[in-house]
Amino acid sequence: MTNKTPRTIKQLFDLTGQTALVTGGSRGLGLQMAQALGEAGAKIIVTSRKAEDLEQAVAELKAAGIDADWIAADCAKEDEIRALAVESIKRLGHVDILVNNAGAAWGAPAEDHPVEAWDKVMNLNVRGYFILSQQIAKLSMIPRKSGRIINLASIAGLGGNPRGMTTLAYNTSKGAVINFTRALACEWGDHNITVNAICPGFFPSKMTMGTLKAMGEEKLAANSPLGRLGDDEDLKGLCVLFASGAGKHITGQWMAVDGGVSVVTGG
């Protein structure tokens, strides 16, 4: 127990002076979370494979008054992940918040799912998260005895799919992310590093475009108790909670942001 005066709610959610690295941050959910962290006061580095996309994302962040920069890197390649960690710390001084968001999906019936596609999904969605978390922790968070890691999982990691969806590798990888989050939280609690996961439901994005077209956006929305898909602000609150002082006693947890779909399906 401490005798210090409890912080106000505004102080608890304030990220002023904090730094954050967001992978897959040039668009979609990654950019939404980068915006949230930046709006709360953090200095941001976003990364993805394409410099052109990153330049556009950083211009958007800066136009909103956010201190932002970018580094192009492929989070499926170990050498680029290691270089990303080193360069991020060089530019930021240290990394307080790591958001592992870069990911891939692949649709194919299980009996015909290409092995190379399975490997591609696992390599980026699981192996990439592990290597970058390890590097950022060893180079910055563990020495400073402080850190927040947020892993993007999915409600697909909670079970199977509705009939007609064939994304075995993706579902498996996101299930792995959830237990990676739990196990890492247990190991790194001694270093005052929290590790949590966000499990989005359906959000319109480049990755989900094919599924939304095949399954029908209205049908998928109707499966949600709230009757809609996720939008451009639905991940912001949880992301900042996990990243901030307001979430300092939360670790090893996952939370679905899906309009209640996982409640209906029993996830």
Domain of 184 in residue numbering reads as: 15-257
- Find out whether 135 and 23 touch, Cβ atoms under 8 Å: no
- Domain assignment present for residue 2? The answer is no
pLDDT of amino acid 241: 98
Supply angle C-alpha 132, 135, 138, rounded to 5: 145
- Domain assignment present for residue 206? The answer is yes
Q: What is the CATH number of the domain that holds 156?
A: 3.40.50.720
- Domain assignment present for residue 263? The answer is no
- Find out whether 129 and 180 touch, Cβ atoms under 8 Å: yes
Options 118, 170, 180, 203, the catalytic residue = 170
Bridging pattern class, strands 68-72 and 43-48? parallel
- pLDDT at residue 214 above 70? no
User: What predicted TM-score, i.e. pTM, was given to this entire model?
Assistant: 0.93
Q: Considering its fold, how many domains does the chain have in total? A: 1
- Domain assignment present for residue 267? The answer is no
- pLDDT at residue 95 above 50? yes
**pLDDT tens per residue, range 97-115:** 999 999 998 888 889 999 9
Nearest to 156 by CA among 109, 199, 218: 199
- Domain assignment present for residue 266? The answer is no
Name the pLDDT band for 219 (thresholds 50, 70, 90).
confident
pLDDT of amino acid 207: 61
Phi, psi of 250 (to 5 degrees): -115, 120
**pLDDT tens per residue, range 10-54:** 999 999 999 999 999 999 999 999 999 999 999 999 999 999 999
> How far from the centroid of its chain's Cα atoms is residue 47's Cα?
12
- Domain assignment present for residue 210? The answer is yes
Q: In the chain, how long is the greatest CA-to-CA distance?
A: 61
129 is catalytic: no
